[in-house]
Amino acid sequence: MIDIRVQTEPFDPGAELGAIEGGGAGAVASFTGLVRSDDGVTTLELEHYPGMTEAALRDLAEQAVARWSLSAATIVHRVGPMAPGERIVFVGTAAPHRQAALDACSFLIDRLKTEAPFWKRETRGDEARWVDARTSDDAAAQRWR
């Protein structure tokens, strides 16, 4: 089962985990990302390319399912304006064994950070700026190639 959603609405990580736990896998791993308040960020706004973004996330999930024999992979990513502390992304994986679930979860979050077409704009006070890609994200994604 692959579940990909790009949405403006908040999500419940517990409900997302519950949805993938019922498939009979031996292990479930997850990652939930939050909007940081680094350096006084008051708003993080994400834009995306509808259709293309979902296709890119689905492709990554299909790669993970094939590589680690997953029984489930879920990616929920929010777009639009968000405040510090709000949930921005959920990645969940279910596999027969823990290492596969953990590795697949890491693969998905590392690769989506560099391969999914999202654009971030941070607001600090009255100033908004687009966020450049980080070399640390590229390095994390590179380890899975």
CATH code of the domain in which 58 resides: 3.90.1170.40
Q: What is the pLDDT of residue 55?
A: 96
Vertex 79, ends 77 and 84: CA angle to 5°? 90
Q: What is the pLDDT of residue 25?
A: 84
Domain range spanning residue 12? Answer: 2-142
Residues of the chain with pLDDT under 70: 137-138, 140-141
Q: What is the pLDDT of residue 138?
A: 65
Instruction: Measure the CA–CA gap between 138 and 11, rounded to whole angstroms.
Output: 27
Quick: pLDDT tens for 29-56: 999 999 988 778 899 999 998 899 999 9
Q: What is the pLDDT of residue 108?
A: 96
DSSP 97-130: SHHHHHHHHHHHHHHHHHHS-EEEEEEETTEEEE
Instruction: Measure the CA–CA gap between 77 and 131, rounded to whole angstroms.
Output: 17
| Average pLDDT along the chain | 91
Q: What is the pLDDT of residue 144?
A: 73
Query: What is the separation of C-alpha 29 from the centre of its chain, rounded to a whole number of angstroms?
Result: 13
Number of H helices, E strands in the chain: 4, 8
Instruction: Measure the CA–CA gap between 33 and 114, rounded to whole angstroms.
Output: 15
Overall pTM surpassing 0.85 (yes/no): yes
How many domains is the chain built from? 1
Q: What is the pLDDT of residue 100?
A: 96
